Chains A and B, each alone.
Chain A
């Protein structure tokens, strides 16, 4: 029969285990969290939201092999992006929106999902991808200076839909027009061809991940001129969970306290 472990031994063992779990886990965790640029990284078409994408990606590199333009790159240690995951930098090589979506199609794990490229029940279409959204820095865009450029507009694979030109009077000369590129966020795929072709030294139009390039109004602003949006007033009342008197909340401007007598 084995001698019973002494209490001291047991406590020592438990402490060792705790140190191993806690210390090891923290070191390991911080090593895999070494992804400082991850918030700004662009993923292939059909990628899940960044957090879910990181859970799902098996890091096999098949999407990168499938990419015919060598757009997709594999993150390495030191890149600041989770090691082994695919990403692209449009200023170097943008996504050319292959109609057969080889990268998305090649993903075995579901981190890139063709379903995210189809609206409702239609067949997947690369033009539905939302890799990011192009943003224009007007001060460094020569078109906004009044110089004719149109490079991004002409190069955009969804010309006149994702980028259109807005005409504005050039007050400097008083007789010319400025042809200003404008990005339409509902159409832009984030492919980055515009960023790639931008003629200035550091691109004045560039792609950021959706949540870095969009704002959010919040629920309390409602477009009264849009029927569907105005309905939300009623929905919100229904979903309000406090027991305040709703009528008086709406009518509060007529409250006695607010009326000077």
Chain B
């Protein structure tokens, strides 16, 4: 069970949110309506994606106060507490890309492909999305976001968006390891930048480490584990999604979730 101690709750959380959204549309459940860009909880509390809000502002519209407040709440939650936890605990596309990641290993697609694209390209895409929003007067990423497309395919049964989800899956499977979540997604880049001082972190205990590399094997952002086997420290990089897979994979009790309160400088990527 220890091997699944985080992946099971993660999938439960991800799927429950999808189920609540779906019920909101088909059965009129009032607990959660909307989507990952803007939702309302129990008809009272708005939660909005701060990155979507940034695009709307860049497009030249100041959203209503409920979205401004909703985005601020979400922003503070991830900045102070969770970091990139949206990616691994909430985002439905994560289920698809994790599957591609796993299948890639199973079918040993890894060895044949040596395409090398910098993981920092997502930060340029993030900047570009705001520029495109500004120039074309509409939220650039929201229109093409595979996260929204997947949500709509499930919650509204709109099938044509699945093509772009399938494309993400195939690229992740055949072309580039962790292609979408680890290289391209500007939403992940957004939380990488702003969430890197978050309190919840994975901590490495150098004394227990046997350099077995099992954690590197399961990590979708393996560069964040650079200190593993070298020194005891937090996994400080903002790119860490706090998914906990390294903790599950580690047989030597050398990694665990902790709360971090110091503000030492660290990398984004």
- Taking Cβ atoms with an 8 Å cutoff, the residues of A that contact B are 20-21, 24-25, 28-29, 31-33, 51-52, 54-62, 64-65, 74, 76-78, 82-84, 106, 108-110
Contact = CB atoms under 8 A, between A and B. Distances in A.
B160 A58 contact: no
B46 interface: yes
A84 B136 contact: no
Given A21-B131, A25-B132, A28-B128, A108 B66 contact: yes
B143 A62 contact: no
Interface residues of B, number: 48
B128 A21 contact: yes
Interface stretch (B53-61, B233-241, B258-266): B53-61
Contacts of A57: 139
Contacts, number: 125
B144 interface: yes
Contacts of B160: 76-78
B163 interface: yes
Interface of B: 24-25, 33-35, 37-40, 46, 48, 52-53, 56, 59-61, 63-64, 66-67, 70, 124-125, 128-129, 131-132, 135-140, 142-144, 148-149, 152, 155-156, 158-161, 163-164
Contact of B139 (A59, A61, A110): A59
A65 B142 contact: no
A55 B135 contact: no
B136 A64 contact: no
A19 B144 CA distance: 21
Residue from A28, A57, A58, A77 whose CB has the most chain B CB atoms within 10 Å? A58
Given A74-B156, A76-B160, A108-B46, A59 B67 contact: no
Contacts of A106: 33, 40
Contacts of A84: 142-143, 148, 152
